[in-house]
Structure 1
Amino acid sequence: MSTQILFVGATGYIGGTVLAKLIEHPSANTFSITVLTRSQDKAKLIEEKFPQLKVVVGSTDDEETLERLASESHVVIGTADADNLPAVKAILRGLRKRHATVGDLPIFIHTVETDDAMQGVLTTPDNGLKVGENVYDDADPKSIASLPPTQVHRDVDLAIVEADEQGKPSVRNTRLEKILIANRLGYLKSYIILPSTIYGLADHALTKAGISNPRSIQVPLLIKASLRRGAPGVVGKGVSIWPSVHIDEVADLYIRILDGIVNNNPAVGHGADGFYFGISDHHTWYELSKEIGRVMVQKGLTKSDEPTPFSDEELVKYFGSVEGGNYYGSTSRGIPNHSKAIGWDPKKTKKDLFASITPELEALL
């Protein structure tokens, strides 16, 4: 029997890369993948180029369709809007129906944002003037649980984890209560992936077919701002730290989790123990802007590679608001112990991040 997979976000940067890896997976002939896309044109392209995929035209705002598709799927992989709580609740309702009618425990692999996911989740607003003290460990449920529910994306995460945890005994349960509900897990198993600064031009079958987005958001936006002002820019002093990961390596994490589930890898936890950081290295904002400046000098686009501080007016002009611009001075620090415990082994470092600046800048030019 084939594994029914619902894929949401296939035309995106992460989603397209993950889907491309699923199509090339050694067990691809056992997958029955349904792709939800709101674009009629993209749907036609998918049907033409990848006839093994089933395409449904619709958006994540179409809760009835989303619920129905989820109810028909053993695995749901979500790489679209991380803040769309109604869409996630529709998926959860569908998976609850699946569990009630089929009796299995469906799988929900959720992405906390389609790009640069830890904005709002692990960040502290340090305005480039200091390094935030918080360092989170994805292998420590207490570390994750310490995140306040008011953090961006957190309400969606908590709803998913709650669905996984329903029916599990607490430490206060009597022995009889534990016996009665010992076999009652939630109605699904959840796995939540938090990528960091994702970089690199995606180059796979879906981008070549014009179906999925080949580019990131965070680094290109900083490059655009520097090009428009004619000099590399930085928030504050740029000393705050952020993690990074290459697009191919973070996509590998999704496959590693899926394979671990299938192979019953005991390290692949779910629910409150089902958070996975996509982090391969850390960098300061100053280092990143300095490299942008170096490439701009090399291209004859500016005279100095030294980043200068963005003014509030520039933050509004280039990033939409002062608050939005100050995101480029925030701190986000994490340790991917859980991801690595399941066999994920990223090789790229911040040197690879800096090496990606030249092709990104050339593409923008």
Structure 2
Amino acid sequence: MPTILFIGATGYIGGTVLAHLIQHPKRSDYEIIIHLRSAEKAKSFENLGFKTVLGSLDDAADLEKLTSESDIVFQTADADHLEGTKAILRGFKIRFQKTGIAPILIHTSGTGVLKDNAEGKYEGTDIYSDLDIPKIESLPDTQVHRIIDRTIVAAAEEEYARTWIVLPSTVWGLADSIFVKEGLQKPSSQQIPDRIKLNVRLGKAVYIGEGENVWPHVHIDEVGKFYRILFDAIVSGKQPASGRNGYYFLESGEYRQRDVVEVIAKALYARGKVASPEAIPLSEAGLDPESYRLVPVDTGTNSRARGERSRQLGWNPPQTTEDFYASIQADVDYLLKTH
């Protein structure tokens, strides 16, 4: 029976992807092994019928051995762990040399690889399509995720691995999978919740520069759906573009930084967590130097992507930017309840 090694199942994205994967009609054709750090959670996954193995991306030798025994690896744990990525690929090379069959890697990156240094001053004009490979390849190695993505593509070019790189954008919505219900999966995202928590800490909602910069967004359930669509295309022999051409952006629209902070400001003000319902520029916030440094520079960047190759596989996310803004109310309530 072919084996799937799943890395990152307790994460926000990973747990959702796994929940969609086990709904696939061919799920019973594969043995799924969950790679995770927690012995306690391992027992819970085993109670749900999964095999587990303890470890982390830092355990290079163990990871290399595991991947040398795996037909498919889902890596949803860390988009920037170079040594872990190299260990996975070393294991793949060993397996290929033994079997002559290239194993499959489905790796989670992100549209952060596209970000610029706008500092909130303007809406970026550089828009990347996942069909425009030369433009993606023009990104310098200094971009976040880029070296890892290139390392993966290089393995595919050497033909000892078949690789697909999935690049979600700002992922939103509270996850609602079986693994959330079992207490095994992180239910909330990072980018917007981190912004909410920061604004609560500062007592005001702030944005960088003029707040003109733009990012794409995608609902967490649509991320899970895409991985299932991609997996189905791979195992059914449809040969979706892979390797050098195997980049897949996930987005269903775009949002402006200032607009999202304004939504957060109103939600937090209604709950008595900030002094004003208005979002203000960081430069006018009157913060002390220590508080000023808490605001991530990344919130002033542009990242503009079009998931055209993703949609060619039949993925069609219906959510709008207004849906994204509306979801912030639930994020605020969840964070205020749990933090």
Q: TM-score range by the shorter chain?
A: over 0.9
Structure 1 pair 122/313, CA: closer, same or farther in 2 (3 Å)? farther
Structure 1 pair 273/314, CA: closer, same or farther in 2 (3 Å)? farther
CA RMSD of aligned residues (A): 1.8
* Distance in 1 separating the partners of 2:297 and 2:278: 19
Contact 2:199 2:274 (8 Å CA) reproduced: no
* Distance in 1 separating the partners of 2:292 and 2:77: 22
Tell me, yes or no, if structure 1 residue 228 matches structure 2 residue 221: no
Q: How does 1:66-215 map to 2 (within 5 A)?
A: 66-112=63-109, 117-119=110-112, 121-166=113-158, 186-215=159-188
Tell me, yes or no, if structure 1 residue 309 matches structure 2 residue 281: yes
Question: For 1:235-256, what per-residue CA distance to the aligned partner results, in whole angstroms no more than 9, with x for missing partners?
Answer: 1111100000011101111111
* Distance in 1 separating the partners of 2:165 and 2:187: 23
Structure 1 pair 187/342, CA: closer, same or farther in 2 (3 Å)? same
- Structure 2, unpaired ranges of 5+: none
Q: CA deviation at 1:41?
A: 1.3
**Amino acid in structure 1 at the alignment position of 2:199:** S
Q: CA deviation at 1:230?
A: 2.5
**Amino acid in structure 2 at the alignment position of 1:189:** R
Contact 1:195 1:279 (8 Å CA) reproduced: yes
Contact 2:106 2:164 (8 Å CA) reproduced: yes
Q: What is the match of residue 19 of structure 1?
A: 18
Give 2:259's match in structure 1, choosing from 276, 287, 294: 287
Question: For 1:303-347, what per-residue CA distance to the aligned partner results, in whole angstroms no more than 9, with x for missing partners?
Answer: 64321122598597568656xx12111100011111011111111
Give 1:57's match in structure 2, choosing from 29, 54, 59: 54
**Amino acid in structure 2 at the alignment position of 1:262:** V
Q: CA deviation at 1:125?
A: 1.3
Q: What is the match of residue 320 of structure 2?
A: 349
Structure 1 pair 55/127, CA: closer, same or farther in 2 (3 Å)? same
**Aligned length in residues:** 335
Contact 1:198 1:244 (8 Å CA) reproduced: yes
Deviates more, 1:295-304 or 1:189-198: 295-304
Structure 1 pair 320/60, CA: closer, same or farther in 2 (3 Å)? farther
Q: What is the match of residue 215 of structure 2?
A: 242
* Distance in 2 separating the partners of 1:157 and 1:299: 42
- 4+ residue runs over 6 A deviation: none
* Distance in 1 separating the partners of 2:11 and 2:298: 22
Q: What is the match of residue 173 of structure 1?
A: none
Using the aligned pairs only, state the percent identity: 41
Contact 1:225 1:318 (8 Å CA) reproduced: no
**Amino acid in structure 1 at the alignment position of 2:194:** L
Which secondary structure does the structure 2 equivalent of 1:109 belong to?
Answer: strand
Tell me, yes or no, if structure 1 residue 340 matches structure 2 residue 302: no
Give 2:302's match in structure 1, choosing from 322, 327, 331: 331
Contact 1:199 1:246 (8 Å CA) reproduced: yes
Q: What is the match of residue 10 of structure 1?
A: 9
**Amino acid in structure 2 at the alignment position of 1:296:** L
Q: What is the match of residue 363 of structure 1?
A: 334
Which secondary structure does the structure 2 equivalent of 1:356 belong to?
Answer: helix
**Amino acid in structure 1 at the alignment position of 2:131:** A
* TM-score, normalised with respect to structure 2: 0.94
Which secondary structure does the structure 1 equivalent of 2:10 belong to?
Answer: coil
* TM-score, normalised with respect to structure 1: 0.88
Structure 1 pair 230/140, CA: closer, same or farther in 2 (3 Å)? same
